[in-house]
């Protein structure tokens, strides 16, 4: 063991030495000039420079996008092109500033400027067409406010607005008024569309399966599942008041914090549920689900996750920061979720190849 430890220490020291030497060379301004001129390396040097600039200006990009959504500019362009003057009048921003906004939107791929008119671009059209996208962009103003003082944010020195937006996470379901529940359910319902489609496309669904969607809120996932597989009998288990009127499923009121998981189901799903909660809460939930299933029963977990082999931009940058701001949430890697499943009795854990990992990753496991 000591021998292996010394080899590990030696490898770490060599890796540290290598990075230090490499970075010393890269930081040399004369080396940078050479790399920028030399044909083989100039392209790499330019890409790195552009990437650094993008990191520096990324917040500006998000605010341009937010302005196009919040001002209604994208909606106004949906029915046809407008002149700068016409759009200015509709969104209440003067002509010169509207032109600045539209040129920025052109650079971001939201709109196009041709013949002195503004046209909706493909990216802008996709934002309008994807259910929940506009609401999510609008919702992110809360996260932006939390990140205005990022040092205090990451030190945990301030209460975040997101932790107030998601009070259900703390298990205070009984303290929520109808407006809180409705606001949460509406956002989750509208933003669930892509997650539901990618989840259903990843897994096999047998005819007549008795399915329970835990934390399914308004039933957005249940609706998509029944649309794709009409023979499925699906129920939604969530806090009272979170469900919308929907004939495609049965609603079972309850909280997985305090109540047992209903019995009699072949498959139980947790769609964007685990990353809202800490490890102990998730472990307790998985244990309850395992206890509720008969032998051969299946669990489906679907949510955005951290990068497995290396950090990625959506999981480790965005979702990890978002769930941290919630104060009780935690974004996990597929292996971390798999470990929690196995520790709570599940086996035959399978991580499906993700069609769009920035939307969701799907994991399946069984009770043997």
- Please give the pLDDT value at position 54: 80
Assess if residue 20 is contained within a domain.
no
| DSSP-derived secondary structure for 259-314 | SPPPSS-SEEEEES-GGGS-HHHHHHHHHHHHHHSPTT-EEEEEE----SSS--II
Nearest to 245 by CA among 176, 189, 328: 189
CB atoms within 10 A of CB 60: 11
Q: Are residues 217 and 172 in the same domain?
A: yes
| CATH code for the domain in which residue 170 is found | 3.40.50.150
Nearest to 173 by CA among 43, 276, 22: 276
H or E segment and range at residue 167: none
Assess if residue 98 is contained within a domain.
yes
Q: Are residues 118 and 180 in the same domain?
A: no
Q: Are residues 161 and 85 in the same domain?
A: no
| CATH code for the domain in which residue 118 is found | 1.10.10.10
Which sign does the torsion angle of CA 310, 314, 319, 320 carry? positive
Assess if residue 18 is contained within a domain.
no
Assess if residue 11 is contained within a domain.
no
Assess if residue 52 is contained within a domain.
yes
**358-322-178 Cα angle (round to 5):** 105
Q: Are residues 173 and 62 in the same domain?
A: no
- Please give the pLDDT value at position 204: 95
Q: Check if the beta carbon of residue 207 is closer than 8 Å to that of residue 231.
A: yes
Assess if residue 70 is contained within a domain.
yes
Which sign does the torsion angle of CA 39, 41, 47, 51 carry? negative
Q: Are residues 164 and 240 in the same domain?
A: yes
Please provide residue 185's backbone torsions phi and psi, each rounded to the nearest 5 degrees.
Answer: -65, -40
Give the domain extent around 87. 38-128
Helix axis angle, 29-37 to 2-27, nearest 10°: 70
If 0-12 CB within 10 Å is exposed, 13-18 middle and 19+ buried, where does residue 286 land?
A: buried
Per-residue pLDDT of the chain in tens (368 residues, 90 and over written 9) = 555 555 557 777 777 777 677 667 666 776 666 666 767 667 777 787 787 888 888 899 999 999 999 999 999 999 999 999 999 999 999 999 999 999 999 999 999 999 889 999 999 999 999 888 888 888 888 899 999 999 999 999 989 988 887 765 545 545 555 555 556 666 666 778 889 999 999 999 999 899 999 998 888 899 999 999 999 999 999 987 667 666 678 999 999 999 999 999 999 999 999 999 999 999 999 999 999 999 999 999 999 999 998 999 899 999 999 999 988 899 999 999 999 999 999 999 999 998 889 899 999 999 99
Distance between start and end Cα atoms, the chain = 36
Q: Check if the beta carbon of residue 87 is closer than 8 Å to that of residue 118.
A: yes
Assess if residue 71 is contained within a domain.
yes
Q: Are residues 197 and 291 in the same domain?
A: yes
Six token digits for residue 134: 């506009």
Q: Are residues 94 and 224 in the same domain?
A: no
If 0-12 CB within 10 Å is exposed, 13-18 middle and 19+ buried, where does residue 21 land?
A: exposed
Which sign does the torsion angle of CA 258, 363, 349, 203 carry? positive
- Model pTM score: 0.81
User: What is the number of structural domains in the chain?
Assistant: 2
């Amino acid at each position: 063991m000591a021998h292996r430890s010394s080899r590990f220490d030696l490898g770490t020291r060599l890796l540290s030495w290598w990075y230090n030497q490499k970075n010393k060379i890269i930081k040399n301004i004369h080396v940078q000039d050479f790399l920028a001129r030399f044909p083989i390396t100039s392209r790499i040097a330019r890409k790195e420079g552009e990437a650094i600039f993008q990191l520096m200006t990324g917040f500006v990009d998000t605010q341009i996008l937010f302005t196009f959504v919040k001002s209604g500019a994208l909606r106004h362009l949906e029915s046809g092109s407008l002149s700068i003057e016409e759009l200015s009048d509709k969104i209440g921003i003067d002509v010169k500033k509207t032109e600045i906004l539209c040129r920025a939107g052109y650079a971001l791929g939201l709109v196009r400027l041709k013949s002195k008119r503004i046209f909706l671009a493909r990216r802008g059209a996709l934002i309008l067409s994807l259910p929940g996208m506009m609401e999510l962009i609008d919702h992110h103003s809360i996260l932006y406010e939390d990140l205005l003082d990022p040092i205090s944010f990451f030190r945990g020195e301030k209460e975040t607005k997101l932790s107030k937006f998601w009070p259900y996470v703390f298990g205070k379901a009984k303290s929520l008024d109808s407006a809180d529940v409705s606001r949460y359910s509406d956002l989750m319902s509208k933003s669930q569309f892509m997650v539901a489609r990618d989840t259903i496309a990843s897994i096999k669904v047998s005819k007549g399966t008795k399915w329970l969607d835990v934390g399914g809120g308004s039933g957005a996932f249940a609706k998509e599942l029944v649309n794709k597989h009409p023979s499925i009998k699906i129920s939604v288990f969530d806090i009272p008041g979170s469900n919308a009127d929907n004939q495609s499923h049965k609603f079972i009121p309850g909280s997985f914090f305090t109540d047992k998981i209903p019995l009699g189901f072949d498959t139980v799903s947790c769609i964007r549920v685990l990353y809202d909660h800490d490890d102990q809460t998730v472990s307790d939930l998985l244990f309850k689900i395992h206890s509720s299933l008969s032998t051969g029963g299946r669990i489906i977990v679907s949510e955005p996750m951290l990068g497995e082999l290396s950090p990625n931009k959506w999981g480790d940058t965005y979702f990890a920061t978002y769930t941290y701001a919630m104060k009780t949430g935690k974004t996990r890697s597929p292996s971390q979720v798999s470990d929690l499943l196995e520790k709570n009795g599940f086996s035959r854990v399978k991580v499906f190849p993700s069609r769009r990992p920035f939307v969701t990753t799907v994991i399946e496991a069984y009770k043997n």
